[in-house]
Amino acid sequence: MHRIASLLLLAAALAGSTFAATAQPAEPADLVASQVEAMRTLAMLDGAWRGPATVIQAGGSRITFVQTERIGPFLGGSIKVIEGRGYDDAGGVRFNAFGIVSFDPATRAYTLHSHALGRVGDFTFVPTGNGYRWEIPLASGRIRYVATVGADELHEVGDLVVEGREPVRIFEMRLKRIGATDWPAAGAVGPK
């Protein structure tokens, strides 16, 4: 029993030293500062956006709707929060998604945590010089999303990518910035 306990302590110590070696900086204030700095790359996304979107279904039929996005910093700017809504012609919500983009200082990688259509997932999120890209892995391929962001336009496309075939465009939105937003940080419950 003593030998097993010693082995467990050794394993814990080795795991701790590995974590300590990869989790730099280790102080909470330093971690948050690193995250805030990484999120500055995505400041171009902040605001309220609206415009046309199209989804191409498996049979080739097209669905068009009005897509809106509201995007803003949260937790002191250490994460980016995104809500997307697609509206039908009558103004009803036909699509609603929620995402959080975060940065891990230990791995130097961004992640998109997404909730949409009853599904939840974590996806690698890659800022580019003028936008971002991310992918959803599928059993037979992946959906690759690529966005470019200008001063007042956010253009995102989604392609179904299957090895040995040409990519197929299944999604496109072209949104215009309609203003700033203080969401989600505004409206916090105060102490009194």
The predicted pLDDT at position 58 comes to: 84
Q: What is the DSSP letter of 42?
A: G
Q: Residue 106 burial by CB count (10 A; 0-12/13-18/19+): exposed, middle or buried?
A: middle
Sorted by where each starts, the structural domains of the chain and their CATH numbers stand as: 45-179 (2.40.128.20)
Instruction: In whole angstroms, give the CA distance from residue 93 to residue 86.
Output: 6
Q: What is the mean pLDDT of residues 18-35?
A: 72
Q: Tell whether the model's pLDDT for residue 127 goes beyond 80.
A: yes
- 184 pLDDT band, cuts 50/70/90, is very high
Question: Quick one: pLDDT at residue 26?
Answer: 73
pLDDT confidence tier of residue 134, bands split at 50, 70 and 90:
very high
The model's pLDDT over 70-103, given as tens digits with 9 standing for 90+, comes to: 999 999 999 999 999 999 999 999 999 999 999 9
Return the closest-CA partner of residue 45 out of 146, 159, 131. 131
Looking at residues 141-157, what average pLDDT do you find? 97
CA atoms within 13 A on the CB side of 61: 2
